[in-house]
Structure 1
C-alpha cells in the first residue's frame, strides 16, 4: 500500500512538473461588508489535492490561508482572516479560488496565490478593491465680490472617488480645486469649489462616485445669499408693528378705543396660547402612547435577503448571496400583518439596540404591494443621517442618536408623524393625500449595510 501511495505521489509530481497558475480576473471589486471571490486555477486542470497552496497578502510568513498535507492549516494563517476565508473551488480540477467574507477596508490590496508541487511552483496576483458609497453631495455658498463661491463636499467613500461639476446643459465645468482627505477608518472625503456668476435659473450639478453606475449627484443655484435683504425686510416689518401697537395703546389710554371686556366664564383651555405643529404632535403622542398597538411581521412580505426572527416582530439582513449584492433596493422592506384604514394608530419601532451600531434603516407606511408611490418613510444611512424617502437630499435634524421611533398614522388629518421616543421630540410630519378607501401597512427595513435587526416594539 505504501508503494502505491509513493508511486501515485511521484506520478502526480511528474505531471505537475510543468503547470501554470492563472487568474480569470486579476482585479476584483466588492462592497464593504460583503464577500469576494479571488479566482486562482491551474493550467492544465491538474488535481491539486497533493499540492501546497498559500494565499498571502503583505507578509509571506503570515498567510491569509495555507493548504498543506491534504487540509487547511487552521493555526497557520493571519488571525485577522480566521473564520472569514475558505477555498471554494474543486481542488481535483485545479480550482484554488479563495473566498473572503465580511469585507473590511483593511482587506483591500494585492493577494498572491502560490502553488507548490514537489518539483515546481508558480504564483499569480489578484487585486481586491473594497467599495463603499459615500454621502450625497452637500453644498456651501459664500459671496466673493461679484461672484459666488460654491463648495461641494461628500464623505465616506472607498476607494478614492471622482468629483465632476456640470452646468445645466450637461457640459463639464473644469476646476483645479479638488481635495481629498482620508479619515481614521480609511474612508475618503472629497471637496471642491468653483467661482461662478450669480444666477436665479442656471443651476449647476456636482457628481461624486466610483463609476457611472455608482454616482451621487446634487444640484444648486449659485445665487448670492439673501440674508441681508431678509434682515432689512424683517427690521422694517418689526418697526411697522411697533408703531401700530403704540398707536393702539395711545387710543386705548385716551378712551377712543376701549379694551375688549373679559369674560369670567371663559374656559381655562381657551386662554392657552396656540401651539405649533410640533407641540401638537407631541401632545397627541403623549395621549396615544397609552394605547400603543403591538405589530407583527407578515412573513409573506419578508423576502431574501431579509430574515424574520422567532419573536415575529424583528427582521434583519441575512447572509448575502452574489445576486443580493446587485439588487437595486438599498432598503428591502417587510410589512406588518396588521393594516390600518381609519382613525388614529400609534406604534413604535426599535431601529438600534446599541449606540451607533446600525448603519442603515427605513421605517414608515405603504400599501400592498409596496411601491415608491405609496411609500412614506424616514430612512437613515451612516454619513447621510435621517432623510425622507421622498427626498434623500434633505436631512432631518435629530436630537442625539435615535434608537426608538414612534409613528402616528392619522386618517382624520391625513398625516404620518415620527417621534424620537428617546428624546420625546418631534422629528417629522408628512401630509398624505388620497387616504380615502386605502389600507396602509407599517413598513420596516434593516437596510443592507449591516446585520443588526429592526423591531416592532
Structure 2
C-alpha cells in the first residue's frame, strides 16, 4: 500500500546535531504519519568542496558498512544511523521524499588532549606504581586514531611500548574506567630504568609528554628521615 502523502516532520527546517568521533549518531527523519510509506526517499550529504549533494550508500565510499536505516517497522520512519563516526562525517545531510525534505547539520567533536603539547613532570618510587595521565577534554569522545604510548630512547627515538615484550612485560595497562577518552597508562613494579620521557600520541588530537623520575627507596627513606630530623630540631 504505497502512499504519496508523506510530509516530513520539520519540513524544510534545518536541525543541528552534535556527536562524538568514534561513536554513533541517529539522524531523525520521519513522516508526520508513521504508517505512511513514502513513494520514494533518499539520504544525501553535501560535498564541502563541490557543494553537490551526493547520495549516501552503505556499499561504497566513506560510509561503507557504517550506515543503516532504523525504522522500527514503521514505514514512515526514515531515520539514519551512522556508526564509527569520524570528523569527515560532519556536514549537511538531506533527507528527502517527494515534495518534502529536511536538512540536518551534523557537528563532530573530536578528542583534544588535556595538557596538549605541554610537558608534565611526575616522580615515583621503585617497587611502586605510577599513573601517567592522558585523556580527552571530553571523556565521552573516542580518539579517531590512538597511536599508543611511546618511550624516548637514548638515541632520541620514540619507541612504542608493548606489554608483551621488553622491560614493560606484563607491567603496564591502559586504565580508562570505561571512558573512551581516558588513555592513561598504569606502570607497576617500577624500576629506576623506567624513568625517562613518555608520550601519549593521538592522531588529530596532539600528544601529551610526561617526564617520569623514579627514585630508589633508599633515596626516598633518606629524604624522609632528613625531613623528620628537621622537624624535631625546629619544634
TM superposition score normalised by structure 1: 0.29
The one-character-per-residue Cα deviations of 1:321-346 (angstroms, maximum 9, x if unpaired) are xxxxxx5x732xxxxxxxxxxxxxxx
Alignment: residue pair count: 163
Show structure 1 runs of 4+ deviating over 6 A: 301-304
SS of the residue corresponding to residue 114 of structure 1 reads: strand
Relative to structure 1, the CA distance from residue 91 to residue 104 in structure 2 (aligned partners, 3 Å threshold; closer, same or farther) is same
Relative to structure 1, the CA distance from residue 413 to residue 125 in structure 2 (aligned partners, 3 Å threshold; closer, same or farther) is same
Contact 1:56 1:112 in 2 (8 A): yes
Residue pairs, 1:14-25, within 5 angstroms: 16-17=4-5, 19-22=7-10
Please name the residue that 1:37 is paired with: 26
1:295 matched to 2:170: yes
Relative to structure 1, the CA distance from residue 38 to residue 409 in structure 2 (aligned partners, 3 Å threshold; closer, same or farther) is farther
Q: Distance in 1 between matches of 2:89 and 2:209?
A: 29
Q: Distance in 1 between matches of 2:208 and 2:177?
A: 26
Q: Distance in 2 between matches of 1:90 and 1:79?
A: 26
Contact 1:34 1:103 in 2 (8 A): yes
Q: 2:45 aligns with which of 57, 69, 73?
A: 57
Q: Distance in 1 between matches of 2:185 and 2:175?
A: 14
Q: Distance in 2 between matches of 1:384 and 1:292?
A: 23
Please name the residue that 2:79 is paired with: 97
Contact 1:84 1:100 in 2 (8 A): yes
Segments of structure 1 that go 5 or more residues without pairing to the other structure are: 1-8, 66-73, 140-208, 215-278, 280-290, 306-326, 332-359, 367-377, 388-395, 398-406, 416-430, 432-457
Q: 1:380 aligns with which of 184, 200, 205?
A: 200
The answer to which structure, 1 or 2, has the higher relative contact order (CA under 8 A, 6+ apart) is 2
Q: Distance in 2 between matches of 1:304 and 1:87?
A: 32
**CA shift for structure 1 position 44:** 1.7
Relative to structure 1, the CA distance from residue 410 to residue 99 in structure 2 (aligned partners, 3 Å threshold; closer, same or farther) is farther
Q: Distance in 2 between matches of 1:95 and 1:40?
A: 6
The one-character-per-residue Cα deviations of 1:233-287 (angstroms, maximum 9, x if unpaired) are xxxxxxxxxxxxxxxxxxxxxxxxxxxxxxxxxxxxxxxxxxxxxx9xxxxxxxx
Contact 1:21 1:122 in 2 (8 A): no
SS of the residue corresponding to residue 42 of structure 1 reads: coil
Q: Distance in 2 between matches of 1:294 and 1:25?
A: 53
Please name the residue that 2:112 is paired with: 134
SS of the residue corresponding to residue 92 of structure 1 reads: coil
Contact 2:116 2:208 in 1 (8 A): no
Q: Distance in 1 between matches of 2:168 and 2:110?
A: 38
Please name the residue that 1:86 is paired with: 68
**CA shift for structure 1 position 106:** 1.9
Considering only aligned residues, what root-mean-square deviation do their CA atoms show, in Å? Answer: 4.7
Please name the residue that 1:115 is paired with: 97
